[in-house]
Structures are given as C-alpha cells and as structure tokens.
Structure 1
Amino acid sequence: MVEQYGRVRRFLPSLFKDIDFEAAPAGVMTLEAHDYLSQLLDSRKQILDDAPMDIVSNPWKRLVVDKEGRVNKRGYTLCFLDRLQDSLRRRDIFVANSDRWGDPRAKLLQGHEWQINRIQVCRSLGHPINPKEAITALTQQLDATYRQVSENFDDNQAVKIDDSGKRPTLTITHIDKLDNPPSLQHLSKQIEALLPRVDLTELLLEINAHTGFADEFTHISESNARANDITVSICAVLLAEACNIGLEPLIKSHVPALTRHRLSWVKQNYLRAETLVKANAKLVDYQSSLSLAHQWGGGEVASADGMRFVTPTRTINSGANRKYFGSSRGITWYNFVSDQFTGFHGIVIPGTLRDSIFVLEGLLEQQAGLNPVEIMTDTAGSSDLVFGLFWLLGYQFSPRLADAGESVFWRVDKEANYGALEELARSCVNTHKIEQHWDDMMRIAGSLKLGTVQASELIRSLLKSDRPSSLAQAIIEAGRINKTLYLLNYIDDEDYRRRILTQLNRGESRHAVARAICHGQRGEIRKRYREGQEDQLGTLGLVTNAVVLWNTIYMQAAITHLESQGVDLKDEDMARLSPLSYKHVNMLGHYSFTLAEQVINGELRPLKQPTDQEDFS
C-alpha cells in the first residue's frame, strides 16, 4: 500500500493549503495529524520523530512503523488520509459553511435555545423527558408484543420457523393476490364507459377551474400584475416540461398566450420550486376534500419509491447503475404518494443513492395539507437508524422487507421466555446507550421537527462510517426495538402485510401514469443541473396529480349517476377503485392533414421573414 503514495502525493498540496478543516471533539486527533503533516509539506524528511500517533490503529502500525520502531512519512500520510476520509464521513472533521461537507450538528438546537424548547418538543412527540420512563414503556411494549405473537404462532399458517440452517429463520408465505369480485369488475367497466375522453391540455385547464392552482405561479419579481390569458401560458409550459417535449410543439404565433416569447418568459419567471410546491399542494388538498378519495384512505398513510431516469447529458448530478441505466448514467426521482393516490413530495437523487437517507426528509418537508403518520417503502429504504429516527419523530415505519425472515429479532429482557419465538429472539439491545444519550436524541428529533437541519444531511453523516458514533449507536439501539416490534406485527397480521403491499402498488401504478405523460425524448431527462431536473420532475408530479384528480372527480360523478339510476354499489368495491387509468387522456396532441389551397396546387409555402428567423434564434 505504501507504493501507492506516489498517486496521492500530487493532490496533497491542495489538501493541506486550500481547504480549511475544522474538528468536532472526536476529530481533534485527526486535525492534529493534518496540521503536523501540512508543516512538513515541503520537507524531504522521510522519518518522523514526533508525529501524533493517536490516529494509527493496530492494522496500520506495520505500514507506518518499521522494524526499528521509526515512523515513515509515506505510511503515516496514507494512514492519515484513511482516517481523514472516515472522519469526514462521520463529520468529526468538517468544512465550515460547506453544503456537502459542513457539520450538520452545528444546525441542531443548542444551549439555551434547546432548553426553552425541550419540554415542548418532548410533549409534542409523545416522549417523556426522563429516559428511564421511555425505556420502560418500550420494554413493556416489546415484551407484550412478543408474548401475543408467540401465543398466536401455532395458528399462523403463513409463517414457519426453519431450523435447517446455522440459526433459526422464518419462512413467510407470499400473500396471494386478491381477486376482483364480479361486482367490482362490473363497476369498473361501468365507470370506465362513462369517463369522457379529454386532451391533456383541456384537463389542466379544467382542473385549474376547480382548484385555481395556476394562481400559485407568481412572477419572480413578486409583482401582482398578470398578463392576459396567463393561465393558458402556464398550463402550456407545464405540459411541455411534464411531457418532456419542449415548447416547440405548443407554439402558435397567432395566439398571444402561446407565442414563443410568451412561453419562454413564463418558463423563466413563473416556473420555480416554490411555485410548483404551492400549486401541487392545492391539488393534493382538493383531492382530500372528495368523498371518493376518503374511501381509499384518510391521508394518514403514504409510500415512498423511486422512478429511474436516464440522463444522457453530462451532469454532475447523476450516477451510474447498470441495472437501471445500462451503460449510461441517471437520476432517481424519489417521490411520496398518499393513500389517496396523490403525490405530495419528490426529491431528485443522483444515481441510486441509498433511499433510506431521504425517507424522513419527504415527510418533514412536504407542504401539502396531509399529515401522514405511517410510511411504506421497499427494502432499500430501511435501516435500524431509520427505524429509530421514525420512532423519535412519532412516525410508524412500515417497509416491505424482502428478507424479513432473515432479519434479527431483538429483545431487552434476557430472562424472558417467548415460547415459539425464543430461538429467534437471540440478540439483546443495549438500553444503557439510549439512556445515556436520551437528551441528545430528543435534541436531534426536535431539530428535525423544527427544520433547523435537513434529515438527509443528518442521516448521511450518521450513516457514512463503518464505526457509528455513540449517539448514532443509541438511535440504532432504539431502532432495533422498533424494528422488532414492526417484524412481530408483520408476521402476526396478514392484513398488515397486505396493507403495505397495497400502498406500495399504488405508488408503482402511479409511476406508470407518470411514464405515459413523460413520453418525449425517450423519457430521458436532459437538464444539466439539479435545479432544472427538480423543476421538471416537480412539474411531472403536478401534472400526474392533475390526471389523478380529474379521474377522481369524474369517477365520483359517474358513481352519483349510477346511484341515481338505482344501481346498488358496495362500499368495499368503491374502496378498491383506482384513479390511475389514462387511456381516455390524449397526451400526444393532434395532427393536422389540411393544406392551404395554393400548396395543394403545387405552390411553395412562403419563406420566413427575417424577423421570424431572428425570433426563432
């Protein structure tokens, strides 16, 4: 490894001279080594007599210290770089005022500010101030759940314990697909037959007439003045972005609201992250006001999943993943869908970064009127740390674990006998760590809830190390208890498993609608910068919500019509209807086959005037 020194030597001057590192208490030793080596940057000295040795772990000693007990510069430098990388991941070493490498702990509630918010934060999150009370409540809940599930285990035909391996594991039978009863099939066909055909352009204008969402698109100058027919221009720009076709197909030089200049001006001055969020919130809130949407859910449950998009344009905000992007690079649009089928938040992720980093962020930062308290994700969104943070913030985390049977079941009481589950409950939680760091755990939860720090930023710093900090380990211990509670309920309750599957299927089916809308340029996102990608995919989410809302409005009208005709409708059938059909929505526009008489007679079209060419450029 010491032979690799020549490769890293080239960037050492920039590392030591151009970047001002700072340290948390746990990073002081690394910073001392940094300062020591920076003083020797121009020195040819190869044997270091007084190097700070606290950073040199046992595996590194044979490369740093020679047989005579002398410290060699090359080995010590490589050891320092390894320690620096780990310290940066843990944010024990950080760069002040850096978006990517700053210290998220500096954004947490501190000192007097925390003390005046402490009681209110604990009360609002439903946690006691005293850590012993919190641990006692968790322990009792875990013990009672173990005993209940153990008592039901012999009657649970879907779950078996497999003793054939080195350790016992669970075998969970896959849930059979629910067949659609004839009454539901008939109702779906009746409603589908009643839905009118509609162009996507008309659909957007109609939904605006219901909700007024276009009013949320304000000029960047904050002027209240509105151009004539600005709603038409806004809807045209939304369509161009969501369908990924650009402005060109929508330009009509003889229509003032659709000229090239007007559409370019609207796109530049009205389409922004904050206006998209506000407009989308209007659609989500309107959907929540419809009685049919409440047949599907009350808005308390949501799912999070990612859509993958290839990005052929070279951009720093993309990543490689051969499974999803082939030989190209791409991004993930991690979006959140309520049990009413509406999308209420979305985050653009380079490549396919670990989804669990962003799960909480979507819940905490969404600005719609919904208040989801339970969220479903796929396996990639789960970790012990995320389970712990969800519990601290008062949310229920319900992932679909592909390897639930292989999961570790944790216990607190070493002496308890859990019957059929005794061999599964083989690992013990260290509650002392929770007690020791309880106040800091509450401080993190309060900071996340009050928005002083981003969830993804904090989780990234807590996760990005092979050696979690003591505070991260305390959250992980709490997460292990809550993950075990989830696993016990998951294996005991088939309805719970089906509910998770149903909500995830809603999110995946909604992605199919979004794919159909985003049909231009092979569905590839060609924006170069993250902000442009976020705005375009935010637009796609808004237009998808418009389709869902339009369908719901007309499905509700169709149901009212059927009831007026004396048709007997079952609540359980209406609860399983879906507003995600789109065959009746024309997303491709219209083609004209008419020609001017002079062209039919063989004459050429008039050439463009120079002013038109200048405008075109």
Structure 2
Amino acid sequence: MSGFHQRFVGTTAFPKNLTDIDVGLCFRLSTDDVKAIKEKYKDRALGPAVLLVFLRASGRSLEKLTAVPYIVLKYLCAELDINERQIATLRSLYQRAATLTEHRKWVLEHAGLRDPAQKDLDELEAALRAILATTITADDLRKRAEVWLLEHHLLIPSERVVRSITHKASEAEVAVAIEVVHTKIPVPQLRNAISAVFGARKGRNGGTILEWLKEAPGKHGLKSLKEASQKITYLKALGVHDWDISAIGGDRIRAYARAVIHRPPSVTRLLAENTQALELSCFLRATLLEFTDNLFYIGGRQINRMIGHGRNRVQSTRAKSATEYAQRETQVRALLHSKNTTDRHKVEALQAMYPEDAPSNSLSGSAVVRDYLAGERLAMGAVLQAFNGIAIMGPDGDDALAQAQALRDVQQQGARELPEGFDASITSKVWHDLINGPDRKRALGALQASTAMAIHKGLRGGTLWIDHSWKHRNREDFLIPHDEWERDRKKLIGAMGLFSDPKLYLKRVRHNVDSGLQAVSEALKAGKLEINQERNVSLPRLSPQDIDLQVTRSRDAIFKIIGQERIENIVIEVDAKSNFSEALLGRRAKTVSELIALYGGIFAMGTENDAAGVAAMIPGVEVSHIAAAMRTLENAERVRQASERVLVFQMEHAIAALWGKGDKGSSDMMALDASNRLFNARVDPWRRTFAVGLYTHVLNSYGVFYDQPIVLNTRQAAAAVHGAHWYNTKQPTDRRLAWLAVDTHGYTNVAMATAKLCGFDLCPQLRNLSERKLMLLHGMELPENMERLNVKIVTEKSILEGWDQAMRVIASIHTGRVSPKDLLERLGSNASGSPVFKALDSLGRLLRTVFLCDYFANESFRREIHTLLNRGESVHQLQRSIYFGRIAPSRGRREDEMAAISGCHALLTNVVIAWNTHRMQEVVDRFAKDKHPIDDDWLAHMGPVHFSGINFRGTMDFTVTPYADALLDRVTRRRQAAG
C-alpha cells in the first residue's frame, strides 16, 4: 500500500476536500461489490456502499453523524444506478439502529475484515518491534500499526488500543536496546565515557566535549584531517571502538545519535539514566563510525590533490621540454649549416651537446607523477599519520598492510631515509626504481606514497576493511553468510528468475547478441548505418521532430489560463490533495502554527534560504520554530514518503498517462553551488565553482521518484542503479521500471550487469565512440557486411568462475542485506582484480553489446532515450529556479542534513509538477466540456515543468483555513470550531 493510499487509514470520518483521484483510488467499488450490494439490498444499496468504501479506505467503521461528501455520493449513485443524492449522513440513511448494525456486519464479512483477537494483537506487537529497526517515533509506529492491521484484514480498534500496543512495542524494543548497551559495554567504561563527554573542553574554544564531538568536518584540508583523527583517537581512548552494539540496528543507532545532535547538552544531561546511557552510547559509536569514514574520504581527497599537482607538473615539464627541444633544434641546425666550422669541430660540438653518460629524460607521465609524490613527504606523511590511528584489516599477506607495517618499522627506528637493501617486492613494480634509487630520502617518500595509495585503493575496493566504519566494513558483512548461501542458493536464484548454471544464462545472452547483430547488419544493408574509417559504426544525427505550431500555441494558452500563482498557495493546495505534511510529521498537524512552521522548514531546507531568512518571509513565525521543523525533516524516510505521495497524485491524472506510464525513467546529476568550506564539495568543471551533486531520478511522466546527494566528479552508476532498484521494490509488478536512461557518467559495465540481474535495463547515451565498440564471446561470428568492424573479445572463463559469487551479491541486494549503491561503490575500478568484478564486468560488456545493437539499429529506441534525458534536463531547469543560490557554509556538513536538503528540494519540485499537472488537467477538461478538446498528440508534447508564472520569493501568507479539514488533526479542528 503506497503512502498516498495510506492517507485515510485510521480515520473515523470522511474528509471534506476529496478529489476525483481520491475517490478513484481509495473510495471505489469493484464490479463484484456492485453486484453483491444490488442483489442483497436492491433499493437500499447506498447505505451499505457508503459503509463498504469507507471501511476499506480507513479500516474503521464510519461515525454516525459524519456527512458523506457529495463527490462520494455522486460516484456511488452512478455505480449503483440509483437517483443521485446531494447530501447524506448515516443518520439520514439509517433511521433504525438495528438496520445499521446488520449492514455493518454484512459489510465486514464482504470486505473480509474482522475484529482482531488477542493473538492478532500479539503478532502486531511483534511486527512493530521488527519495524522499530527503521523507525523510532511514536507517530510513525502508530501509522505502521494501523496499516499492518488493515493489510492483514483486521478491523482497526480504537485509537487508545493502538497507542497502547505501540507504546508497549516501543518500550520493549527500547528495553532490548538498553540491555544490549549494558551487556556489550562494561558499566565502568560507559559511566566514564558519559562523564567525560559532559566535561569542559580545554583550550580557548571552550564548550563541552560533547559539543566538540557534534561538530561536523569543515574544509577538506589537512586541518580537518587532523581534527577528525583527534576525535577518533579520543573516542578510541574511551573504548568506543570495542562497543559492539550492532544488535540495536544501524538505523536505530543513527536515530538515537540524531536525537543527541539535535538537543543541547544540558538537556541530554537531564535524561533518565538508562535513556541517557542508550542515546549517548549510540551517539559515540555513530560518531566514531562517521568520522572514520570522513577521515578516509578527506585523506583520499588529499592523495588525489597531490596526484593532480603531479599531473600539472607533467604538463609543465612537457611544455618546458618542448621549448628546450625547439631551442636545441635551432642550435643544431645552425651548427650543421655553419660554413666557418670544420666537420671535426661540428662532431665535437654535437658530442658536447649530447654527452654519452647524460641521464635519459624519457619518463612517462605516470613516472613523473610518482616522482612528484615521492617528494611530497610531509603532506603524504600527514595523511599516513592520520591513518596510523586506525586498525586497518585485510587478508593475510596483503601487500598494502605489509607496506604499512614496513613503514611503521622504519619510523620506529627514527630513520629519516629508507635503509639500503629494503625489500621492494611488497610494493608495485612501478615504484621499484624510486625505492631502490640512490636518493634514500626520496625512496622513503616513495614508500609513503605507495603505502597511502595502496590503503586508499584497498578500502575503496573492499580488500581492506575497518571494524568501526559505516562504509568500509568487511565486504562479507554486506553479503549473505556463506553457510546460508550454500543452503539456500537454488531457492534464492530461482526467486530472482536467474540460472544457477551460468552456461544457460550465457546461451540466452548469445541469442540476444546474435539477434542484435543481425538487426545492425540489416540496417547497414538499408543504408541507415555505415562503418567509418576507424572501423566503428557511424550513426546519423537524429533529425528534430516536426511539432505542429498549434502545440506551442495551445500550451501557451493553457498556462495563460492557469495564470500566475505564489509558491505558498501551490504548496498548501497540493498538500490538501496529497497530505504530504502528514507523511513528514507522521500524523496530521495539531496546530496551524505547526503546519506553517513545517512548510517553512521545507523552504529552509529545499531552497537557498536559511531558517532566519524563511522566518522573515512568513509573518508570525519564529526562527526557532523553523529550526525545529528542519530537524524533523532530517528523517530521510519521511521526506521520501511525502514526495511519493505527491508523485502518485500527479501520476493519477489522465494527462500524465500521455507523457508516460511510469515504466521508464532517466537519471542525471545537477550541481548545486556550495561553499568551499564543505568537506564534500568539489569544483564543478563546467562552472569552475565549488558544488555538491544532487542526483535525481525522473519518470517519463516527469515526476521525481528518487533523489540523493552525491560527490561531484565521481562515477554516477552506483547512484543510478540504486534509485531505480529502490523504486522497483516499492511498486507492484506492472508499475516497475523497465529501463533507465542515463548519460555516460551514469553507467559502468558492472552497473549494467547488476541492473539487468535486478530486473531492469540501464540504457546509456554514450558520448565516446570508444565506448561504442561491440564485445563478443569467443566463437561468435559477425555477419558478412560487418566483418571489418572493430570488435573486442570477452572471455567466458571470467563469467563462469565468478558466477556463483556474483549470484550471491545479487541475492544480497534482493534480500535487502546491502543496497546497490553500497555494493557498486566497492565494485569500482579499485576492485578490478576480484572474481566478482571480473564476472560482472564481462557480463556487462556483453549486455552493452546487446544494448548497442538496439541503439544502432532502432532509431525510435535511440530517440526515446534522448527524449527521456531531455525531460530530466527540463526538470533540472525547474529545480534551479527553486534553488538558484548556493548552500551556506554552515549547512550540509552532516550526511543527514545533506540528504534533507536533497529530499526537500525534490519534494518542492514534485509539488510544482503536480500542481501544474492538476491545473492543466482542469483546463483540458474544461475545453473538452465546451466541445473544444485538445488532441492527445498535442498534450503529449506539453510538459508540467512550466514555472514562469510562479513567484518563488517574497512574503509568504499561508491561508490554512480553507484546507483545515484535510490538513489538521480532527481534535484541533473541533477546538477551533468551539473557539
């Protein structure tokens, strides 16, 4: 059940402001319902129909005095073929209480619902305790309980009973978490840690240790690296690295830690002893894990920065060498053609210019970079010093660990240069010349650089790991355990629709490759394609589609009728129709001020404004209220549920189906300007400004279905596959993505294979011709007219040898043990030597060949990919109009905060798209009613990303009263009415 369908679960009365979409999705009768009601009650069918549709939507019986909305009455009367009624309540429909009781009993039986027994309530409590691994608030838990009851065909009891069960489940789970803390952490050690973090921090900065630990990293420099190392050292001195509280669950640990972060230390100090111990232990553990990740991220940035400086030196060296070569050439030419010099003197002069024992300057660019890194001993030493405080683990005999140990041995001896006779075999061969060279100081620098780069690569590729880390844990911890995989292999592979025998799967892939090659061959014969001089397939440019001028005129006319509107009115209107604020709060807002503060928090997170700026735009709202709402929005799951509600509302309009059925999408990154004081900000190569990336997934119906912050200038394939897989796991089979269009940065061969095995196709619009080469297995033959094509061979052996482990990886994704993003980030180029990487990379090359054959031969397929990516770009234009400034230096440093910025930005984008869609539908329906329908082909070329008529800035006046019934808690509405 989607978040949009859950809006009415648990209510006891019809909302007043229902739409046709609400009725069609939540308050509808099936054909069997109509037949059963008409056969049973004939002319008294309206009452049972009202009871049935409300029961199915809410899970509760309808209150007797509640009025039935006219839109529901109109629909039910039309379905039952009876005279339409303008107004009705249960009192007017049932004069006799006995008749109402009898009808309610029949409706319960027909709907398949029953009152929950004590056994059912016990099962509910157990289910809620399992759900508590991902949610922690009482409001979230109550909603989950109501949905669980309805999905299990149980009547939802009174609110008091539900709250009692959720309270018991929450208390029981908290008690278990407290027991884990007291069992896994020695009591004296925990008390010492709690006492220490409340102590004053020495130095001129002042404050408590707890406040110091809550500070996020600043710029990605050596200072931030040193501070992260100091915090890790401090936490390890408290023994936090030995605290194994993983039984609490990663999400709950983060949630308890977030509570400490958002609360002043003085308030945390007043908590009950057990609660304080639980929250602080989770905070300290989460802080250690997070700063460990930050340390290696910043250290990696420093290594990459030095490599970049070395590459710049390569360019300058080559430029200098070219100048010297030109000057030397001029001298040689003048000497050779000199008439006043004998031949013997010319030879002697040339020998002086080119001595026999002169050193060779034929170093490659990589060698020049390594030579530069060897000279950066101080900077590389600072990185390694930060790494030294971390217990990095790996397999026995790992070269990176051997280098680290050798370097520690040298440093413990107090040597400032590498001793003669050092065993260089533990390092890569490319470093041997420097390590064995005569300059022993530079040799020590070479060992430092080799060690730092090996550790960085090992952690990125998963061959090395750290116990106290979120991202760099042992790769085995992400996957199904070996014994469980051996036991359930066939069952899991069968559930995924794959083959345990890779040869059978490759047989299918071979057939697809052969079919694709034949299609390309026919396109070559027809003259649609050609093979160029470089022996690659040459594609003709796509000709622009002819669009009737009337389409543009009709679109302009529609938006002229829609007119101008202010963003706050758009937000509140869409909220009334989708109730996204309920998803954000976990309940309906209790007061108008709470609702307005929530809207202000969305603007403070999703636009360039901060809390003070938004508070100045909304009269009567305090900065503290906005700041509190912003902390609420750091729950990424809630923000995503809210965005999903808006997306479903937008997609249920008839006009949206003309843009797409939601079975295809695209994904791309948008750079958001940021301060260089954010440690995860990088320079945008296009605009030469510091920025962070927001990666958004857009359906072919224009809505944003997933968003996530990413680091700029990194491969985006992991983010692309992750978002599509997440969406498919939330959708029924007929609404899942079939394929996802991406640009060149959004794919890798491993990602293409992972996406295919997860149930959808990754379709990249490849920019480079070198990436358009076809890959074939040994023994595969090209058609005659394609024999001169430049192809590469993929070995079947790598796929066969790594197939079992690849299936284990995919099964781990399907069972939710690991996300595609976490996995693919560790299966990048740094993992190129592992069997899993080889198998998925080789399979991805074959799948890319299948895709390329379709891409070459099918122009409509190529055009559709282009259209999807263009729609994503049009959504980016809307996003930039919403967030046109830059992220302030004080924001986005913590992962939760950056995710909230991305999520709220996507939510506002979906709100505007949904409002445009709704208003466009109203205008189109009005034209059709006036006998001037707009052709569907025209509407298919109009998008809902228009924003020129929307005022995103200025004073905001949220008028809640007209929508109070849809947005506020019922008790609040009653109090307002009484007042």
**TM-score under structure 2 length normalisation:** 0.55
8 A Cα contact 1:448 1:455, kept in partner: yes
CA distance in 2, matches of 1:106, 1:61: 35
Offset at 1:553?
1.1
8 A Cα contact 2:384 2:448, kept in partner: no
Match of 1:584 in 2: 949
8 A Cα contact 1:126 1:394, kept in partner: no
1:275-424 residue pairs with structure 2 within 5 A? 275-312=638-675, 314-324=677-687, 326=688, 328-366=689-727, 369=731, 371-404=736-769, 407-414=772-779, 416-424=781-789
Deviation sequence 1:295-322 (CA, Å, 0-9, x none): 1111111111111122125111211234
Match of 2:304 in 1: none
Offset at 1:211?
0.7
1:67-466 residue pairs with structure 2 within 5 A? 79-115=450-486, 117-157=488-528, 159-163=529-533, 167-218=534-585, 226-248=590-612, 250-251=614-615, 258-270=621-633, 272-312=635-675, 314-324=677-687, 326=688, 328-366=689-727, 369=731, 371-404=736-769, 407-414=772-779, 416-424=781-789, 426-465=791-830
Query: Do residues 564 (structure 1) and 564 (structure 2) align?
Result: no
8 A Cα contact 1:199 1:589, kept in partner: no
Offset at 1:395?
1.4
Offset at 1:93?
2.0
Q: Which letter does structure 2 place at the counterpart of 1:273?
A: A
Q: Which letter does structure 2 place at the counterpart of 1:226?
A: K
Return closer, same or farther for 1:36/1:176 CA change in 2, 3 Å cut-off: same
Query: Do residues 38 (structure 1) and 408 (structure 2) align?
Result: yes
CA distance in 1, matches of 2:780, 2:619: 79
Offset at 1:556?
1.3
CA distance in 2, matches of 1:552, 1:146: 42
Q: Which runs of 5+ in 1 are unaligned?
A: 593-617
CA distance in 2, matches of 1:180, 1:311: 39
Match of 2:869 in 1: 504
8 A Cα contact 1:90 1:464, kept in partner: yes
Offset at 1:363?
1.8
Return closer, same or farther for 1:193/1:116 CA change in 2, 3 Å cut-off: farther
More displaced stretch, 442-451 vs 5-14: 5-14
Q: Which letter does structure 2 place at the counterpart of 1:137?
A: R
CA distance in 1, matches of 2:759, 2:678: 38
Match of 1:601 in 2: none
8 A Cα contact 1:104 1:457, kept in partner: no
Deviation sequence 1:84-106 (CA, Å, 0-9, x none): 44333322222223234333343
CA distance in 2, matches of 1:98, 1:216: 31
CA distance in 2, matches of 1:507, 1:6: 46
Match of 2:337 in 1: none
More displaced stretch, 335-344 vs 103-112: 103-112
Offset at 1:56?
3.9
Deviation sequence 1:388-423 (CA, Å, 0-9, x none): 222222211111112247622111253523222222
CA distance in 2, matches of 1:491, 1:290: 35
8 A Cα contact 1:21 1:93, kept in partner: yes
Return closer, same or farther for 1:555/1:80 CA change in 2, 3 Å cut-off: closer
Deviation sequence 1:411-468 (CA, Å, 0-9, x none): 1253523222222252111111111111111111122233322333322222243844
More displaced stretch, 355-364 vs 435-444: 355-364
CA distance in 1, matches of 2:577, 2:698: 22
More displaced stretch, 235-244 vs 337-346: 235-244
Return closer, same or farther for 1:330/1:106 CA change in 2, 3 Å cut-off: same
Return closer, same or farther for 1:124/1:73 CA change in 2, 3 Å cut-off: same
Offset at 1:282?
0.5
Return closer, same or farther for 1:375/1:404 CA change in 2, 3 Å cut-off: farther
8 A Cα contact 1:276 1:539, kept in partner: yes
8 A Cα contact 1:515 1:523, kept in partner: no
How many residues align? The count is 575
Offset at 1:551?
0.9
8 A Cα contact 1:360 1:456, kept in partner: yes
> What percent of counterpart residues are identical?
19
Q: Which letter does structure 1 place at the counterpart of 2:489?
A: R
More displaced stretch, 361-370 vs 299-308: 361-370
Q: Which letter does structure 2 place at the counterpart of 1:170?
A: V
Offset at 1:195?
1.3
8 A Cα contact 1:354 1:380, kept in partner: yes
Return closer, same or farther for 1:31/1:338 CA change in 2, 3 Å cut-off: same
Return closer, same or farther for 1:80/1:494 CA change in 2, 3 Å cut-off: same
Return closer, same or farther for 1:129/1:212 CA change in 2, 3 Å cut-off: same
CA distance in 1, matches of 2:503, 2:945: 48
Higher helix proportion (structure 1 or 2): 2
Deviation sequence 1:88-131 (CA, Å, 0-9, x none): 33222222232343333431112233245533442343311111
CA distance in 1, matches of 2:523, 2:908: 47
Greater relative contact order structure (CA < 8 Å, 6+ sep): 1
CA distance in 1, matches of 2:770, 2:420: 55
Match of 1:596 in 2: none
8 A Cα contact 1:281 1:368, kept in partner: no
8 A Cα contact 1:390 1:397, kept in partner: yes
Q: Which runs of 5+ in 2 are unaligned?
A: 1-370, 958-979
CA distance in 2, matches of 1:77, 1:277: 44
8 A Cα contact 2:749 2:844, kept in partner: yes
Higher strand proportion (structure 1 or 2): 1
Return closer, same or farther for 1:86/1:271 CA change in 2, 3 Å cut-off: closer
Larger radius of gyration: 2
Deviation sequence 1:495-548 (CA, Å, 0-9, x none): 0111011111111001111111224xx345542414323212321111110111
CA distance in 2, matches of 1:232, 1:566: 41
CA distance in 2, matches of 1:276, 1:244: 18
Q: Which letter does structure 2 place at the counterpart of 1:211?
A: S
1:586-601 residue pairs with structure 2 within 5 A? 586-589=951-954
Return closer, same or farther for 1:73/1:588 CA change in 2, 3 Å cut-off: closer
8 A Cα contact 2:658 2:939, kept in partner: yes
More displaced stretch, 195-204 vs 454-463: 454-463
Match of 1:612 in 2: none
SS of the residue aligned with 2:946? coil
Q: Which letter does structure 1 place at the counterpart of 2:627?
A: S
Q: Which letter does structure 2 place at the counterpart of 1:495?
A: S
Q: Which letter does structure 2 place at the counterpart of 1:107?
A: F
Match of 1:606 in 2: none
CA distance in 2, matches of 1:511, 1:148: 35
From 912, 915, 921, the counterpart of 1:550: 915
CA distance in 2, matches of 1:30, 1:264: 46
Return closer, same or farther for 1:180/1:235 CA change in 2, 3 Å cut-off: same
Return closer, same or farther for 1:531/1:459 CA change in 2, 3 Å cut-off: same
SS of the residue aligned with 1:298? coil
Deviation sequence 1:45-87 (CA, Å, 0-9, x none): 77879977652444444444579xxxx8776665544544433
